[in-house]
Each structure stands twice: as structure tokens, then as C-alpha cells.
Amino acid sequence: MVAGHPVLPKGTCVADHRRSAIRTAVVWDALLAALEVQAAKAGRPVEVVDLGGGTGGSAVRIAQLGHRVTVVDPSPDALASLERRAAEHGLRDRVRGVLGDAAGLLDVVAESSADLALCHGVLEVIDDPPQAIATLHTVLRPAAAFSVLATQRHAAVLARAMAGHLVDAQHLLVDPAGRWGAGDPVPRRFTEAEIVSMLESAGFRPQTVHGIRTFTDLVPGALVDVEPGAAESLLALERATAERPEFRAIATQLHVVAIRD
């Protein structure tokens, strides 16, 4: 098990869990640091808003640390799973699921009420990412933290080319939404410059930028599952390269922690 990772969710096999823990370790390193800073500043548990938080993978883990999380998501099914998960962990008093979406966030979350906002895997699927970022700025208190995780265009170019879809790879390079074609299931992908520009335009100051799943998505899963020590080595490699621009550029996702002005 990767150090510090929470209890295995029901129905998850150990190999899946290990791979998932490696994929998300760098995100959690930065997120836990941001939570510590916000908790120290506030002198109380952190108030978190998780926009598009889905079934609560992040929310439950944050609540296990003593913080309070409001998950806003348009999927009733996801919210039902979230509630079950929170109940299983005895966290119903610290995790709140609210039916809503990015466009209507201010109808369900008060202005200047949160110390930390999460927007993980959501900018890709919503209609108006800059508007969502501006709204999250409104629900955050001054000097609060914002954690953004988004799919990166460059990695998709590489993946598409390596799979032999060379025309798609070229399309991805220039498509305004970062899609490889009409059949692409991902509505939008971003470059680091696009993410940083959206954040700065909304009044956020990016503090850390990490590449996520730089090697995890390239290394065969079987190697990690069977080779002794491979999981630990892969994790060490992800951590060692996450901040380096030359590797960040080809990471599947980018994770940015920004501070609200």
C-alpha cells in the first residue's frame, strides 16, 4: 500500500487500488499541503467545496482528516454513492452532497464561504470553464486555495500517435477544444498555458503546477503488479519529475494549486 493512503474501498482489488494510489499521489501531496496551510491559517477545520466531486473519493478522504466538505454535482446517482460512502466511514456530519452544477453554484453555496475549492476532472466536461473558475473565486474567501486537476492536450497527442492514430494526433494539436475528432469522448483538454491564463484572469495566483500520471499511463500495469519494488519506484519517479517542465509537458493531467487574491 502507498503510505498514507486510506482504507481500500469496498469491491476494489489490491492491484487496482495500488495503481490508483500511484496515479493520484502527487495530487494528494499538494492537496494535503494546501489543507494544512488553510487549517493553520483558519485555526479550525477547513471548509471545502468540491465542484463535480462525484461519488466523493476526494471528499471522504478530506473529511477523514477532520475537515468539512460540500460536494456539488449534477448527478443524483453520484450523490447517492457519495452519501453511502460517507455513511460507511461515519462521516455524514462532515460530508454534504448537494445537487447542482457549475452554472448554478452560487444558488447552493454562499459567497466567500470556503477555504478550499476542488475542481478535479470537471473543466473538461462543463460548457464554460472560465465562468466556473470565476464562480469558484466568488465562493472562496480571500487567500483561500483552489485545486484544479485537468486533462492535458499534449499527453493526448502522444497517446493518440503511439496508438497509431496519427491524423487524430495532428488534429489534437490544433483543435480549439483539444479533441482528436468527433468520436473523442473527452469534450475538452487544456495546455498548461490555458489553465494558468484562466486562473490568472479570474483572480487566482498559481502556486504549484504538477504533472500527473506522467509515467503511470505509459508503464505497463503488469510490471507494477508483479515486479517487486516497481510500484514504489514508479511512485518515486512520478514525484521526482512532477514539477519538471520537460516532463510536466507530457503528463496526462495537470494539477494546479492556486491562491485566491
Ligand X SMILES: C[S@@+](CC[C@H](N)C(=O)[O-])C[C@H]1O[C@@H](n2cnc3c(N)ncnc32)[C@H](O)[C@@H]1O
Q: Please, which residues have CB within 8 angstroms of residue 6's CB and are 6 or more apart in sequence?
A: 60, 61, 64
Separation of alpha carbons 218 and 172, rounded Å: 19
Q: What size, in residues, is the chain?
A: 261
One residue of 121, 130, 203, 206 binding ligand X per CB under 6 A: 121
- In the shown chain, the binding pattern of residues 65 to 94 toward ligand X, with x for contact by CB under 6 A and - for none, equals --------xxx--x----------------
Separation of alpha carbons 119 and 230, rounded Å: 31
| Amino acid at residue number 115 | D
Q: Of 185, 184, 125, nearest to 149 (Cα)?
A: 125
Q: Applying CB under 6 A, which part among 51-59, 86-94, 216-224, 235-243 lies near ligand X?
A: 51-59
Which one, 125 or 223, has the nearer CB to ligand X?
Answer: 125
Which one, 9 or 233, has the nearer CB to ligand X?
Answer: 9
Which one, 73 or 168, has the nearer CB to ligand X?
Answer: 73
Separation of alpha carbons 148 and 27, rounded Å: 10
**Does 51 interact with ligand X (rule: CB under 6 A)?**
yes
**Does 129 interact with ligand X (rule: CB under 6 A)?**
no
Q: Applying CB under 6 A, which part among 13-21, 118-126, 170-178, 199-207 lies near ligand X?
A: 118-126
**Does 122 interact with ligand X (rule: CB under 6 A)?**
yes
| Amino acid at residue number 69 | V
What angle do helix axes 76-88 and 57-64 make, rounded to 10 degrees?
30
Q: What count of Cα atoms within 13 Å lies in the side-chain half-sphere of residue 55? A: 7
Phi-psi region of 152 (alpha: psi -120 to 50; beta: other; left: phi over 0): beta
Which one, 101 or 192, has the nearer CB to ligand X?
Answer: 101
**Does 184 interact with ligand X (rule: CB under 6 A)?**
no
One residue of 30, 38, 57, 172 binding ligand X per CB under 6 A: 57
Q: Applying CB under 6 A, which part among 39-47, 49-57, 175-183, 245-253 lies near ligand X?
A: 49-57
Binding site for ligand X (CB under 6 A): 51-54, 57, 73-75, 78, 101-102, 120-122, 125-126
